[in-house]
Every structure is written in structure tokens, then in C-alpha cells.
């Protein structure tokens, strides 16, 4: 997380809402032979996250031996910011971004709820595709569905700590920040979801 307090003052509830809306991140934990990581979709309800790993992954194998302290990293929009965009002298390049870190205890969940987890997860993301009729697991051949579910294991993370960085040029004046946002929104900038990042920068005008 960035050390500048201008980027770190969002409430935990806002950071949790952001992470829940993204629904995709990197679960990391220390394994017997070094750091482990898996990129996963997840559901977040308050201080509890749930997801699944492919059974053969290193994290799943490590968790089979017991719970682990873990970090769920959730990244948002990001983009390169040229100092020329501020319209001010003696500024340097930077990279704006949003990130949320959720710390907690990671454990495998009972496999008896595997079908429920899969249905909750698919329902969460299918709901974003309206007016498309949602996909549901009952559309699958149930024998095949059962075989596929046996290749994954459910997990849950009990969140005990929340950290976030919303680095949106809050340390610049509103005019300079908005000029940078306009240039970012025009496209062609290194980064991901730069238009969304520009919108967050414009909304941050009262943060500094």
C-alpha cells in the first residue's frame, strides 16, 4: 500500500465494497517452499470471502494440511500519468491506481457446499449481463457437472484486516487533476480501464 496518507484515507467499508464489486483477485499465502498465489473470482460478504481453487494447485494442496494466513489482493483501474498533463512545472511521472488488500485466515470449506458455492458465484456475475437470461448449473449434464466439481475445492477467507490505496492525484489541485483525467480518458495511455480511472480522479476532487 502507498505510504502517502492522501491515498489511504478511504473507509474500510468503501474498500470492501470496491473489492466486492470487482470480484476477482489474487490469493497469496506462504507455502512450505515459498510464496503461493492463485488468480481467482470470489464473493465477498462483509468480513467473509469465498471462492474455489483447482484441487491440484499448490495453494489447495497446502490448505489440505490446515488453514493459512493469507492476503487477497484486488486491483482496480490503473494508468500512467504524464507530468505534462498537469499544466504545471517541475512535476514528475507517476502511475495512478486503485488496490485493496484483505488479510485474514484462509481455510478450505466443506465440500458438501460445493454446488451452492458454484451457483452463488455464477449468479453474482450472470446478474451483470442482463438482459441475457442467466446461465445456471442445471443447464449442465449433471454427471458431467459432478465430475467437474470434483476437480475444485471451496475456500473461505475470514477477513481480519483491510488496507486500500486510491491513488488518484489527490495531492494535486483540482484543475491539474482534471487536466490529467481528461488526457487519460482520451485513450492511448499505458494501463487498464483508464476511462474508469479518469472518472475516479474527477470524483476525487474533494479528497485532498
What's the pLDDT score for residue 98?
A: 97
Answer whether 62's CB lies under 8 Å from 92's CB: no
| Host domain of residue 106 | 5-206
pLDDT at 148: 95
Residue 29 pLDDT > 60: yes
Number of domains, the chain: 1
Query: What pLDDT is attached to residue 205?
Result: 59
**Residue 117's CATH number:** 2.30.110.10
Q: Which residues pair with 79 in a beta bridge?
A: 96, 191
| pLDDT tens-digit series, residues 100-147 | 999 999 999 999 989 999 999 999 999 999 999 999 999 999 999 999
Query: What number of CA atoms fall less than 13 Å from residue 56's CA on the CB side?
Result: 2
CA distance 75 to 70: 16
**Residues 9, 207 contacting (CB under 8 angstroms):** yes
Amino acid at each position: 500500500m502507498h505510504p502517502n496518507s492522501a491515498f489511504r484515507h478511504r473507509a474500510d467499508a468503501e474498500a470492501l465494497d470496491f473489492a466486492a464489486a470487482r470480484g476477482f483477485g489474487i490469493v497469496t499465502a506462504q507455502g512450505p517452499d515459498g510464496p503461493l498465489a492463485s488468480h481467482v473470482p470470489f464473493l465477498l460478504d462483509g468480513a467473509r470471502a469465498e471462492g474455489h481453487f483447482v484441487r491440484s494447485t499448490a495453494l489447495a494442496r497446502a490448505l489440505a494440511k490446515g488453514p493459512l494466513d493469507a492476503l487477497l489482493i484486488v486491483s482496480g483501474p490503473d494508468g500512467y500519468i504524464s507530468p505534462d498533463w498537469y499544466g504545471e512545472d517541475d512535476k514528475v511521472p507517476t502511475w495512478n491506481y486503485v488496490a485493496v488488500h484483505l488479510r485474514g485466515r484462509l481455510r478450505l470449506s466443506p465440500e458438501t457446499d460445493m454446488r451452492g458455492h458454484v451457483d452463488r458465484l455464477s449468479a453474482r456475475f450472470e446478474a451483470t449481463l442482463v438482459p441475457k437470461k442467466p446461465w445456471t448449473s442445471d443447464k449442465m449434464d449433471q454427471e458431467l457437472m459432478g465430475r467437474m466439481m470434483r476437480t475444485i475445492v471451496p475456500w473461505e477467507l475470514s477477513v481480519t484486516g483491510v488496507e486500500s490505496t486510491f491513488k488518484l492525484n489527490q495531492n494535486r489541485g483540482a484543475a491539474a487533476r482534471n487536466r490529467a483525467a481528461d488526457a487519460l480518458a482520451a485513450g492511448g495511455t499505458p494501463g487498464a480501464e483508464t476511462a474508469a480511472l479518469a472518472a475516479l480522479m474527477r470524483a476525487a476532487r474533494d479528497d485532498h
